[in-house]
Amino acid sequence: MGGENRNVLLKMEGIDKRFPGVHALKSVDFSLEPGEVCAILGENGAGKSTLMNVLGGIYSPTAGKITIDGEEVVFHNAKDAEKKGIAFIHQELSLFPQMDIASNIYISNLPHSRGRILSKKLRQDTREILKRVKLEHRKPDEIVGDLKIGEQQLIEIGRTLIRGIKVLILDEPTSSLTNAEIEILFEIVRELKRQGTAVIFITHHMDEIYEICDTLMIMRDGKRIMKCGVGDISRTEVVNQMLGHTAEEQYCHPERKYGQEVLAVKGLCRGSRLQNIHFSVRSGEMLGLYGLLGSGRTEVLRSIFGLDKYDSGEIIYMGAPVKIRKPKDAISLKMALVTEDRHKEGLILEESVRFNMTLANLKAIARGIMVDRQKEKILSKSGISALRIKTPSANQQVKYLSGGNQQKVVLSKWLNTDPRLILLDEPTRGIDIGAKQEIYSIIERLLQKGVAVIMVSSEIPELLGVCDKVVVLKNGQQVCELTNDKDLHAAALLEAAMGGE
């Protein structure tokens, strides 16, 4: 492949990227021909986004060379990459929702004469672009915020068309689109392809890859594993390559004794985000929730805990139906929720360890209306030693703690409420392996004491290692419930979530 470079549009050679403590890309090679549509696949943290951010000029690589049309380029920022014809459509759109379509498309390049906008020309040019992205029915002066989310995404793509683009990067473009909108997107991609533009798809959806892509590249642990034509590899083989050996290394958990049913969710629905979710968990049992980004896994936990409202469905807790309207209700039923984002929803960073640790159960440290400093001290001291939290003192501001220790503070906060059901949302994200193991053993202790646990995780080895059964979600729907026995493999889980055979 690499020998004759006559027909190479983009070439990335030996791309290396190190962050403090993380080697995110390990000498990755990647090349594209004009008109090639390539899917990049890999688990979370495999290095897909990092590679694309290097190509988009957002990160500069630690080592390596990028060549476009035979000319070596160095990007210092996203603007540089844009000038060389790289267009990067991120998952979060960067539109101005209050402005009209025309201004959004031409914001950086408004046609003007001596400072006055030539509105007639602007409207005409915009209509051209709208035609190219199949939005003929929209007028240039419509407000972008009023459009459907899928249409907004097409506007975002239209915005890149006003300058000559050579490579279009689409990061999970279809996660918020309807089937009809996906068709339009593919139509646009095919047209770009005819004009010689290369398109990179970051996606997890197998059907889409086989429908639109010519080639696919698989990444794992910051390395390029393989690149080949989509016809040359089966879906099962793709999954196996993505997982590599990690699937074999499993954690082992001791024997667990299950008690009575603690929570049952029946027919939980919330708009189009969640449809007919049903599962149950017993005391001493750990249920995993798996799904790709946007599959609705976090929403399930939030609905149970009263943070989000749900339209219909029933939640049975300790054998009786319950109505949970706000987190306070859930807490008084002895539920706990460790949120996905410690900084945004878990901790008050400016405050001390003891402040955070006692926040979910202020009753325990109250004497009348006052805070009893003595009780607080005893409680936080015992929390610190029970979970072995590394902190100079209970008065330390939590922002100075490491990620793993911060997470332990959050856990400790909830253990203080003496919960019977713990909901964990990505409890080990962004913390080191040592702390991970410690958190597993804390959870194991709780399970042995008869607490029920539901854990959302995007790490398959983790789910296989610590859960008793796993519910797989896809696009807000429950795909299946798998019992974690010898027959459950990583590949089965990933295939269910991605929509394999």
419 contacts another protein (rule: CB under 8 A) = no
Rounded Cα distance between 63 and 60, Å, is 9
Q: Give the residue carrying structure tokens 């599959």.
A: 295
Number of neighbours of residue 407 by Cβ within 10 angstroms:
26
1 binds another protein (CB under 8 A): no
Q: How far apart are CA 297 and CA 400, in angstroms?
A: 30
Q: Which range in 188-196, 251-259, 286-294, 321-329 contacts another protein by CB under 8 A? A: 321-329
In this chain, which of 73, 93, 366, 492 binds another protein, going by CB under 8 A? 366
**Residues near another protein (CB under 8 A), total:** 36
Decide: is 349 part of the binding site for another protein (CB under 8 A).
Answer: yes
C-beta separation of 380 from 356 below 8 A? no
User: What are the E-state strand segments in 433-491?
Assistant: 452-456, 469-474, 477-483
Q: Can you spell out the DSSP letters for 332-371?
A: HTTEEEE-S-IIIII--TTSBHHHHHTGGGGGGGEETTEE
Tell which one of 327, 450, 499, 500 touches another protein (CB under 8 A).
327
Task: Answer yes or no whether residue 328 interacts with another protein by CB under 8 A.
Answer: yes
Judged by CB under 8 A, does residue 308 bind another protein?
no
Q: By CB under 8 A, is residue 304 in contact with another protein? A: no
Please report, for residues 141, 253, 334, the alpha-carbon distance to residue 14 in angstroms, rounded to integers and kept in the order given. 46, 40, 53
Stretch that binds another protein, among 70-78, 122-130, 179-187, 400-408 (CB under 8 A): 400-408
Q: Can residue 383 be called a binding residue for another protein (CB under 8 A)?
A: no
Shortest Å distance, C-beta 283 to another protein: 22
Residues 6+ apart with CB under 8 A from 23: 17, 222
Nearest distance from C-beta of residue 432 to another protein, angstroms: 13
Q: In the chain, what is the straight-line distance between the N-terminal and C-terminal CA atoms, in Å?
A: 30
162 belongs to the binding site for another protein (CB under 8 A): no
Q: Give the SS3 label for residue 466.
A: helix
Judged by CB under 8 A, which of 68, 331, 456, 473 binds another protein?
Answer: 331
Residue 29 as a binder of another protein (CB under 8 A): the answer is: no
337 makes contact with another protein (CB under 8 A): yes
Q: Which is nearer to another protein, 254 or 368 (CB)?
A: 368
CB of 188 or CB of 360, closer to another protein: 360
399 lies in the site for another protein, by CB under 8 A: yes
Indicate whether 60 belongs to the interface with another protein (CB under 8 A).
Answer: no
| 176 and 153 Cβ atoms separated by less than 8 Å | yes
| CB nearer another protein, residue 117 or residue 364 | 364
Instruction: Candidates 347, 452, 493, 496: give the one binding another protein (CB under 8 A).
Output: 347
**What count of Cα atoms within 13 Å lies in the side-chain half-sphere of residue 95?**
30
307 binds another protein (CB under 8 A): yes
Pairing of strands 452-456, 286-290: parallel
Return the axis-axis angle of helices 403-415 and 433-448, rounded to nearest 10°: 10
8 A C-beta contact, residue 38 and residue 214: yes
Q: Which is nearer to another protein, 405 or 484 (CB)?
A: 405
Residue range at the interface with another protein (CB under 8 A); choices 1-9, 114-122, 132-140, 337-345 = 337-345
Q: Which stretch binds another protein (CB under 8 A): 30-38, 61-69, 184-192, 369-377?
A: 369-377
* Binding-site member from 31, 380, 391, 428 for another protein (CB under 8 A): 391
Binds another protein (CB under 8 A): choice among 4, 71, 249, 350: 350
Q: Which of 180, 252, 320, 369 binds another protein (CB under 8 A)?
A: 369
Among 180, 252, 370, 433, binds another protein (CB under 8 A): 370
- Cα(46)–Cα(460) distance, integer angstroms: 13
| Residue 473 bridge partners (DSSP) | 478
Virtual torsion, Cα 32, 35, 41, 46, nearest 10 deg: 40
Using the minimum distance from each CB to another protein, give the nearer residue, 53 or 416: 416
Q: What is the dihedral of CA 386, 389, 393, 394, to 10 degrees?
A: -60
Q: Is 348 in the site for another protein (CB under 8 A)?
A: yes
Report DSSP state, residue 172. S
Q: By CB under 8 A, which span of 185-193, 275-283, 284-292, 327-335 interacts with another protein?
A: 327-335
Q: Strands of 283-350 (E only): list them.
A: 286-290, 312-317, 320-321, 335-338
Residue 332: beta bridge partners? none
By CB under 8 A, which span of 2-10, 246-254, 389-397, 444-452 interacts with another protein?
389-397
Question: Taking CB under 8 A as the rule, does residue 401 contact another protein?
Answer: yes
Contact 42, 217 (CB under 8 A): no
Is there binding between residue 371 and another protein (CB under 8 A)? yes
Is 388 near another protein (CB under 8 A)? no
Among 142, 351, 444, 459, binds another protein (CB under 8 A): 351
CA-based nearest residue to 280, from 294, 259, 255:
259
Q: What CA–CA distance (Å, rounded) separates 266 from 322?
A: 12
Residues binding another protein (CB under 8 A): 305, 307, 326-328, 330-332, 337, 339, 344-351, 355, 359-360, 362, 365-366, 369-371, 390-392, 396, 399-402, 413
